[in-house]
């Protein structure tokens, strides 16, 4: 029986400062992250002791330097928020890792709340810059000059599912899901063959099938084995093969369908052999064809389009849903997935309210037609549309504009997103994390996904482990928190 | 024709899935839109022409809106948009 799919996303944003000849991305990121002020605010360390990004799911440990900043740098680069999220500086990009949630709908709410957190701090940071300078952020994955940065998804999986099985069952799915998860991009890069427009921001950057790297020679399936939970029971699938999506509908499908497929893998329900002859080539071939008609070759020589491969997964999913208990959100995801696959098979452009790459293509082509620029994909204004689609400013971002005008479909409400900026999900350990930060701000010393430590008076630091992502929920700990006036009492009550 | 707003094709029919908890009505993914049905209803050319005008107006509105927000110096901006590689 598949385990509940606790999930989250980590989004790196593109950052620039306009009209600043001395623009430095790292110091701008530090300024940005520190411009976000929460009430109550604490100086909290990110607890790197608990991290091991060099463990490989295939069963070995890679040599390398583990990054551990000093205390001052740590506090300057890491913010843990009262909604349970981590907002921090990763290399030369700001990154927002949303709190753990249990379903794709909550994921949409919290990923969108992250966009607003980033935008709030962008406005604050901009006000601190010299006159004329302005910080801008883009929720995208590439600068169109060969530099890419990620949008990662995480899913909790049963440790008993073999990694080899996961790889085999997932590879064709990951090579082709971009037909409905792509964020769209004008042109190609990173030695990709030329095209006007492609489905995915990231496809040009995948160079190998399976590996531990995330920054060079990027793999379609990443092997990082760092569960941030009880490693005897769980693995965390770290998915790096996705785009940063703007459309709520697209985010919903991306996480909803993927989590369903992972449950099916745990239950042995991927019964068709869809193994691709060359997944790295296939991911690019599928991305570079907005008609969705190009075929890729399976191991046995059979040829299918990306949409047809997804339709095969859909067929297995419908059979799975008929014989297993699936939750309300997954049932809704399945229905929409079916609708989207049918539309893609007819004409992808029918999905101009739902799927990012189609919404963006429609926007750009409308503009080109209206301005006498038809076919001029190299035009700077066309390139600008591509970029500005992802701008986080509500008054300037083109996706925001379409949303405001009611030209795209939504999944959640503004009220829910606004609420999630200050409130953790109630049904995961993120609740315990967020509530501790809210209730005992001066006494939280350090945080990681699976631990929180308290500095109470002169006593040694007390670390509380949270190895179970589905514990620490409101149902389980609210009473305990209500009965603990401070962190000292909480620690005492936990021991009682 | 491109982007349509008007009676939103799907949003009207699709309730937020938890939004109206008391509603047991299952939202239907959109099938053929009302637009196509109108076009086939035999009301004739007048209606089609009106529809065409509305769509053109809507398109002009969209283009104006884009021009209002689009970065002025696009060429400079896209040229200078350089990021460091990340994950």
pLDDT bin (cut points 50, 70, 90) of residue B34 is very low
Q: Quote the pLDDT of residue A62.
A: 79
Q: What's A142's DSSP letter?
A: B
Given A332, A335, A388, which is nearest B70 (Cβ)? A388
Q: Residues A225-240: pLDDT tens digits?
A: 999 999 999 999 999 9
**Exposure of A286 in the CB half-sphere (CA atoms within 13 A):** 33
Residues 5..44 of B with a Cβ closer than 8 Å to A: which? Answer: 5, 8-11, 14, 16-19, 27, 29-30
Q: Which residues of A are catalytic?
A: 90
Q: Quote the pLDDT of residue B43.
A: 61
- In tens digits, chain A (496 residues) has pLDDT values of 999 999 999 999 999 999 998 999 999 999 999 999 987 777 889 998 878 888 888 888 877 777 788 899 999 999 999 999 999 999 899 999 999 999 999 999 999 999 999 999 999 999 999 999 999 999 999 999 999 999 999 999 999 999 999 999 999 999 999 999 999 999 999 998 899 999 999 999 999 999 998 888 999 999 999 999 999 999 999 999 999 999 999 999 999 999 999 999 999 999 999 999 999 999 999 999 999 999 999 999 999 999 999 999 999 999 999 999 999 999 999 999 999 999 999 999 999 999 999 999 999 999 999 999 999 999 999 999 999 999 999 999 999 999 999 999 999 999 999 999 999 999 999 999 999 999 999 999 999 999 999 998 888 899 999 999 999 999 999 999 999 999 999 999 998 7
Given A145, A152, A362, which is nearest B3 (Cβ)? A362
Phi, psi of A145 (to 5 degrees): -125, 20
Distance set, CA A5 to CA A175, A292, A428 (Å):
21, 30, 11
**What is the distance between the alpha carbons of residues A153 and B48, in angstroms, rounded to a whole number?**
46
Q: Do A143 and B82 touch (CB under 8 A)?
A: yes
Q: Is the dihedral of CA A167, A54, A239, B17 positive or negative?
A: positive
Phi, psi of B23 (to 5 degrees): -75, 125
- Residues A329/A322, Cβ–Cβ less than 8 Å: no
**What is the distance between the alpha carbons of residues B34 and B49, in angstroms, rounded to a whole number?**
16
- Residues A118/A137, Cβ–Cβ less than 8 Å: yes
Q: Do A383 and B59 touch (CB under 8 A)?
A: no
Q: Do B83 and A371 touch (CB under 8 A)?
A: no
Q: Which residues of B touch A12 (CB under 8 A)?
A: 86-87
To the nearest whole Å, the CA of B13 is away from the closest chain A CA by 11
The 3 state secondary structure assigned to A283-325 is HHHHHCCCCCCCEEEECCCCEEEHHHHHHHHHHHHHHHHHHCC
Given B30, B62, B87, which is nearest A240 (Cβ)? B87
Greater confidence (A27 vs B27) lies with: A27
**What is the distance between the alpha carbons of residues A182 and A153, in angstroms, rounded to a whole number?**
14
The answer to whether residue B13 scores a pLDDT higher than 50 is no
Nearby residues of A82 by Cβ (< 8 Å), 6 or more positions away? A38, A40, A422, A423, A424, A434, A435, A437, A438
**What is the distance between the alpha carbons of residues A145 and A165, in angstroms, rounded to a whole number?**
36
Q: Quote the pLDDT of residue B51.
A: 82
- Residues A2/A267, Cβ–Cβ less than 8 Å: yes
Indicate which of A366, A372, A416 best probes the interface with B, i.e. most B CBs within 10 Å of its own CB. A366
Q: Quote the pLDDT of residue B3.
A: 62
Q: Is A301 left (phi over 0), alpha (psi -120 to 50) or beta?
A: left
Q: Measured between CB atoms, does B46 come within 8 Å of chain A?
A: no
Q: Quote the pLDDT of residue A59.
A: 81
Chain B: residue nearest A93 by CA? Answer: B86
Place of tokens 């990709």: A192
Chain B: residue nearest A339 by CA? Answer: B29
Nearest to A358 by CA among A182, A192, A204, A477: A182
Q: What ipTM does this complex have?
A: 0.93
pLDDT bin (cut points 50, 70, 90) of residue B21 is very low
pLDDT bin (cut points 50, 70, 90) of residue B54 is confident
Q: Which residues of A touch B59 (CB under 8 A)?
A: 366, 370
Given A149, A363, A406, which is nearest B85 (Cβ)? A149
Q: Residues A243-271: pLDDT tens digits?
A: 999 999 999 999 999 999 999 999 999 99
Residue A31's DSSP bridge partners are none
Residues 309..328 of A with a Cβ closer than 8 Å to B: which? Answer: 328
Q: Quote the pLDDT of residue A39.
A: 79
Q: Quote the pLDDT of residue A495.
A: 84
To the nearest whole Å, the CA of B5 is away from the closest chain A CA by 6
Q: β-strands A151-158, A185-186: how paired?
A: unpaired
Given B27, B71, B75, which is nearest A388 (Cβ)? B71
Helices A474-482 and A487-495 cross at an angle (nearest 10°) of: 120
Q: Quote the pLDDT of residue B1.
A: 43
**What is the distance between the alpha carbons of residues B59 and A236, in angstroms, rounded to a whole number?**
46
Q: Do A380 and B78 touch (CB under 8 A)?
A: yes
pLDDT bin (cut points 50, 70, 90) of residue B14 is very low
Q: Quote the pLDDT of residue B15.
A: 34
Q: Do A91 and B17 touch (CB under 8 A)?
A: no
pLDDT bin (cut points 50, 70, 90) of residue B42 is low
- Residues A445/B47, Cβ–Cβ less than 8 Å: no
For the full predicted model, state whether its pTM sits above 0.90: yes
Q: Quote the pLDDT of residue B58.
A: 85
Greater confidence (A187 vs B14) lies with: A187
Share of chain B above pLDDT 90, in %: 26
Greater confidence (B50 vs A101) lies with: A101
Q: What is the mean pLDDT of residues B29-58?
A: 63
To the nearest whole Å, the CA of B39 is away from the closest chain A CA by 17
Structure tokens at B39: 């076009």
Q: What is the mean pLDDT of residues B16-41?
A: 40
């Amino acid at each position: 029986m598949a385990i509940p799919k606790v999930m989250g996303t980590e989004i790196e944003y593109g950052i620039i400062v306009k009209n600043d000849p001395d623009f430095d991305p790292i110091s701008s990121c530090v300024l940005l992250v520190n411009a976000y002020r929460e009430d109550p605010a604490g100086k909290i360390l990110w607890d790197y002791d608990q991290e091991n990004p060099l463990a490989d799911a295939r069963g070995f440990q890679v040599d390398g330097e583990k990054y551990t900043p000093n205390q001052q740098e740590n506090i300057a680069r890491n913010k843990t928020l009262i909604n349970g999220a981590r907002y921090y500086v990763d290399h030369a990009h700001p990154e927002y890792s949303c709190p753990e949630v249990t379903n794709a709908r909550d994921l949409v709410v919290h990923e969108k709340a992250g966009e607003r957190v980033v935008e709030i701090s962008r406005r604050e940071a901009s006000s601190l810059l010299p006159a004329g300078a302005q910080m801008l952020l883009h929720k995208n994955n590439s600068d169109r000059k060969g530099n890419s940065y990620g949008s990662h998804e995480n899913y909790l999986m049963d440790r008993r599912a073999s990694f080899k099985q996961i790889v085999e069952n997932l590879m064709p799915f990951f090579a082709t899901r971009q037909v409905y998860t792509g964020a769209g991009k004008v042109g190609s890069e990173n030695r990709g063959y030329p095209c006007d427009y492609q489905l995915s921001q990231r496809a040009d950057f995948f160079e190998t099938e399976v590996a531990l790297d995330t920054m060079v020679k990027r793999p379609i399936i990443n092997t990082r084995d760092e569960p941030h939970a009880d490693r005897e029971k769980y693995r965390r699938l770290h998915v790096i093969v996705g785009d940063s999506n703007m459309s709520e509908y697209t985010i919903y499908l991306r996480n909803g369908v993927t989590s369903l497929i992972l449950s099916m893998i745990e239950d042995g329900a991927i019964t068709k052999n869809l193994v691709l002859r060359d997944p790295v080539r296939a991911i690019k071939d599928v991305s570079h064809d907005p008609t969705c008609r190009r075929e890729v070759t399976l191991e046995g020589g059979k040829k299918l389009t990306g949409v047809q491969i997804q339709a095969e997964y859909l067929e297995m999913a419908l059979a799975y849903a008929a014989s297993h208990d699936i939750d309300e959100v997954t049932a809704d995801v399945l229905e929409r997935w079916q609708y989207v696959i049918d539309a893609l098979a007819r004409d992808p452009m029918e999905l101009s309210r739902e799927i990012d790459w189609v919404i963006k293509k429609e926007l750009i082509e409308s503009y080109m037609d209206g301005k006498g620029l038809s076919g001029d994909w190299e035009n700077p204004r066309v390139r600008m549309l591509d970029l500005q689609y992802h701008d986080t400013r509500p008054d300037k971002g083109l996706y925001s504009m379409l949303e405001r005008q009611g030209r795209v479909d939504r999944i959640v409400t503004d009220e829910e997103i606004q609420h999630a900026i200050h409130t953790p999900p109630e049904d995961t350990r993120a609740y315990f994390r967020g509530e501790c930060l809210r209730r005992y701000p001066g006494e939280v010393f350090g945080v990681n996904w699976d631990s929180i430590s308290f500095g109470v008076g002169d006593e040694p630091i007390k670390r509380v482990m949270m190895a179970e992502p589905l514990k620490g929920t409101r149902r389980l700990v609210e009473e305990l928190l209500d009965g603990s006036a401070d962190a000292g009492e909480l620690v005492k009550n936990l021991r009682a | 024709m491109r982007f349509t707003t008007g009676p939103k094709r799907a949003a009207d029919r699709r309730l937020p899935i938890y939004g109206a908890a008391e509603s047991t009505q299952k939202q239907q993914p959109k099938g053929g839109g009302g637009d196509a049905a109108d076009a086939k209803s035999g009301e004739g050319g007048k209606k089609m022409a009106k529809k065409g005008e509305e769509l053109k107006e809507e398109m002009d509105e969209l283009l104006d809106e884009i021009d209002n927000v689009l970065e002025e110096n696009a060429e400079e901006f896209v040229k200078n948009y350089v990021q460091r590689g990340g994950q």
